[in-house]
Amino acid sequence: MKIRGVILAGGAGTRLYPMTKIFNKSLLPVYDKPMIFYPIKTLKDIGCKEIMVISGREHSGQIMSQLGSGVDFGLEFTYRIQEKPGGIAHALSLAKDFCNGDSVAVCLGDNIFEDKIDISDYDGTGAYIFLKSVPDPQRFGVAEVSGDSVVNIVEKPDNPVSDLCTTGLYVYDTYVWNIIKQLKPSDRGELEITDVNNWYVKNGLMKFKKLEGFWSDAGTPESLAQATQLVRNKSNG
């Protein structure tokens, strides 16, 4: 089964300002590498050989200069500009033609995983998410799980039903494009990836895996510093 990779590296990075005043967040260093190198490795480990990087217009040149064609990674990169913010699901919709009928693995450009992600049990049907127990689940989409099934996902709940957050890595079959097409903007005017995931949940087509190693969305000064320390500790083993 062929699976294409998509990295979403848009956004203004306001929580990391002023570091992001002239730099894309995903190019900030996490220990000894630019942040975006980590999602690239995650997608490569999954088996993606072709990856589209989606970013805003203001930083697209920086990202292309840093990554090039993909030859340094043994991959093939394609680039696409998201002209204005519209949410994760909207950004993903820009990759439809690139995926060309293949399944897609989507990773947010600020997500760093210690686990080597294994999706050998994915047959190209439905969706796959990756959950992590965190001390502050109210910051994330929170999954309610019963046995081997996801029951529901709630975005940034005031009273989380569990400590399992949905990390920024998602695998979808080709029906995802139809789902996105049917979405309505949320209260903040965006097409939400949680709505996409809940479609798969409600239709019994969502698989999940709990992560054991560290995970970080390095999108705040605190989480960026923590990610750097975690990667440093692992590298120095």
Domain assignment present for residue 142? The answer is: no
What is the per-residue pLDDT across 105-120, written as a single tens digit (0 to 9) for each?
999 999 999 999 999 9
Domain assignment present for residue 51? The answer is: yes
Name residue, tokens 């340094």. Answer: 72
Is residue 59 over pLDDT 90?
no
Tokens of 10: 């848009």
CATH number at residue 88: 3.90.550.10
Domain assignment present for residue 81? The answer is: yes
Better-predicted residue by pLDDT, 117 or 22:
117
What is the per-residue pLDDT across 83-101, written as a single tens digit (0 to 9) for each?
988 899 999 999 999 999 9
Domain count, the chain: 1
Q: What pLDDT shows up at residue 235?
A: 83
Domain assignment present for residue 161? The answer is: no
Task: Specify the DSSP element, H or E, that contains 48.
Answer: none
Q: What pLDDT shows up at residue 219?
A: 83
Q: What pLDDT shows up at residue 160?
A: 94
237 confidence band (pLDDT: 50, 70, 90): low
Domain assignment present for residue 153? The answer is: no
Report helix, strand or coil for 38.
Answer: helix
Domain assignment present for residue 174? The answer is: yes
Which domain range does residue 95 map to?
Answer: 3-124+167-207
Domain assignment present for residue 132? The answer is: no
Cβ within 8 Å of residue 56, ≥6 positions away: 10, 11, 12, 24, 81, 82, 83, 85
Measure the CA–CA gap between 67 and 37, rounded to whole angstroms: 9
Residue 208 has a CB neighbour count (10 Å cut-off) of 19
What is the per-residue pLDDT across 24-47, written as a single tens digit (0 to 9) for each?
899 999 999 999 999 999 999 999
**Which alpha helices (DSSP H) does 35-164 contain, by range?**
37-46, 60-67, 88-93, 96-99
